[in-house]
Structure 1
Amino acid sequence: MRGVLLDLAGVVYDGEKPIAGGIEAVAALRDACLPLRFVSNTTRLAKPAIVAKLHAMGLDIGTDEVFAPAAAARDWLLRHRRSPHLLIHPGLEPEFRDLPRGGQPAVVIGDAGEAFTYSALNEAFRLLDDGADFLALAANRTFRDGDGRLSLDAGPFVTALEFATGRHATVLGKPSVDFFLAALADMGCEPETAAMVGDDAEADVAGALRAGLATALLVRSGKYRPGDETRFDPPPTAVVDDLAAAATWIIERRGP
């Protein structure tokens, strides 16, 4: 093991509180001299807000250690000289505030929450039907909401627009291979020497293994439900109780 990717929601924290043992587990991985990157599909908070939230929980983390889909979307838009049409949560809008407008449009869809109105979806559909590019920040089916229950994530709405337009979105967050590889490249780690820890058997675990990571651990916290480990292919390398158990598993098998 030469590096570790960690999901955030459901692995390090749940709602507004750290998961028991999670902060200490991050410290243990750092003490073992394992570089870390926090790879999150959250599309409701801009990166500075994510970092501020983690600091408030007692997690010492740098902004450059967090990888979220909004940054990948910004890079794509600038590289392709597209103007964003945003269907996202208001909390994420600052990430796109300074981008050029008025050019060829690209629809950017994330977890817009209450902004997923018929009017907003239909406006996005019409732009896509006219040929706009189609970017999905993430395609997760569900997330664990503040009340402890699962809620619809961006994926069902991405799928609705795909069905209506007959087109496939370019997914920029997990399980995109490029997303995983960008985080690994940032810490100089090859996929075959890296581990991923997540609570989503599809986006976190199967996605990481398809990207070539040697190890992907599924934790029984966050959105995990019994049987998730058998629902998607490839299956997890191992299923552990939480991040603390995952850190122990990784450190014990780290190698010289």
Structure 2
Amino acid sequence: MVRHPSAMIRAVLLDLSGVVYDGDTPVPGAVAAIGRLREAGLPVRFVSNTTRSPHAAILRRLDSLGVSAGHDDLFTPARAAVEWLSRENCVPHLLVHPDLVPEFAGNEFGDRKAVVVGDAADAFTYGTMNAAFRQLVDGAEFLALATNRTFKDADGRLSLDAGAFVAALEFAAGKQATVLGKPARDFFRSAFAGLGCTPGQAVMVGDDAESDVAGALKAGIGAGLLVRTGKYRAGDESRFAPHPTAVVEDLAAAVDWVLAHRG
């Protein structure tokens, strides 16, 4: 059953990997679909849970695919983490991908400790996990950039994402992580700040039924569209509640839906 948004659609939030592109290749029709949203006067914000690439690198990738985006059009967990660390006067103990480390450089932090965990890939070793664990039991704050279960890897298959490692540290340290990326309510709400609309007037489009779609709907976003590209697997639409507002083939079909239901 397809549910309809209860308010006029005034903004669109888009996941990136698996929705706009797969690796360095745009999803067919995605670039043109973004253009159609902009031609219709609907502002677009890109909300990604990637924790391997810094902000500037993602913007360069979008530009190489023909999608223009400014600094404030892209929201990532690393950006949220830097803001959190500065606000709370904490210095990070990083367990993240090496490519993401420069994102935290040059910022003024305090002297309290905070363990920051992202998708560290091969940097997830017993030694690095145990060092993070020891910081936590010594009283450090605990930040998870994201808690996704899986992601679609470069070989086209699903790979283990950061969520399992966050869960392991939570179990061992007996401490709950503060999640900064999707599905955190504040992350979604930060994405459309300044757009002059309410959460109920925004639509989220993603390939992750749990973090993208159910997370957005729990955050009060008016509609959540699940695309059958990227990490989507048959049956995802019924695995997590709230269920998607609609399930569509790809971003082009999602834009068709948005334009048909914008009010």
Identify the residue that residue 15 of structure 1 maps to in structure 2. Answer: 23
Identify the residue that residue 4 of structure 2 maps to in structure 1. Answer: none
Aligned pair partner of 1:187 in 190, 195, 203: 195
Identify the residue that residue 237 of structure 1 maps to in structure 2. Answer: 245
1:75-115 deviations in Å (ceiling 9; x for gaps): 11011100000000011111101134671210000000110
Identify the residue that residue 170 of structure 2 maps to in structure 1. Answer: 162
Identify the residue that residue 227 of structure 1 maps to in structure 2. Answer: 235
TM-score by structure 2 length? Answer: 0.95
Identify the residue that residue 121 of structure 1 maps to in structure 2. Answer: 129
- Equivalent residues of 1:83, 1:99 under 8 A apart: no
Identify the residue that residue 105 of structure 2 maps to in structure 1. Answer: 97
- Which amino acid in the other structure matches residue 36 of structure 2? A
**CA distance, structure 2, for counterparts of residue 200 and residue 21 of structure 1:** 19
**CA distance, structure 2, for counterparts of residue 141 and residue 67 of structure 1:** 20
Q: Tell me if 1:133 matches 2:141.
A: yes
CA RMSD of aligned residues (A): 0.9
Q: Tell me if 1:51 matches 2:52.
A: no
**CA distance, structure 2, for counterparts of residue 50 and residue 189 of structure 1:** 26
1:153-212 deviations in Å (ceiling 9; x for gaps): 110000000010111100000000000011121322211111000000000000000000
Task: State which drifts further: 87-96 or 241-250.
Answer: 87-96
SS of alignment partner, residue 186 of structure 1:
coil
- Equivalent residues of 2:37, 2:255 under 8 A apart: yes
Identify the residue that residue 153 of structure 1 maps to in structure 2. Answer: 161
Identify the residue that residue 38 of structure 1 maps to in structure 2. Answer: 46
Aligned length: 255
SS of alignment partner, residue 185 of structure 1:
coil
TM-score by structure 1 length? Answer: 0.98
Task: Give me the identity figure in percent.
Answer: 61
- Which amino acid in the other structure matches residue 149 of structure 1? R
Q: Tell me if 1:73 matches 2:78.
A: no
- Which amino acid in the other structure matches residue 106 of structure 2? D
**CA distance, structure 1, for counterparts of residue 110 and residue 260 of structure 2:** 54
Q: Unmatched 5+ residue regions in structure 1?
A: none
1:13-46 deviations in Å (ceiling 9; x for gaps): 0111000000000000001100110000000011
**CA distance, structure 1, for counterparts of residue 47 and residue 168 of structure 2:** 26
Q: Which runs of 4+ in 1 moved over 3 A?
A: none
**CA distance, structure 2, for counterparts of residue 63 and residue 19 of structure 1:** 22
- Equivalent residues of 2:86, 2:110 under 8 A apart: no
Q: Tell me if 1:29 matches 2:37.
A: yes
Q: Unmatched 5+ residue regions in structure 2?
A: 1-8
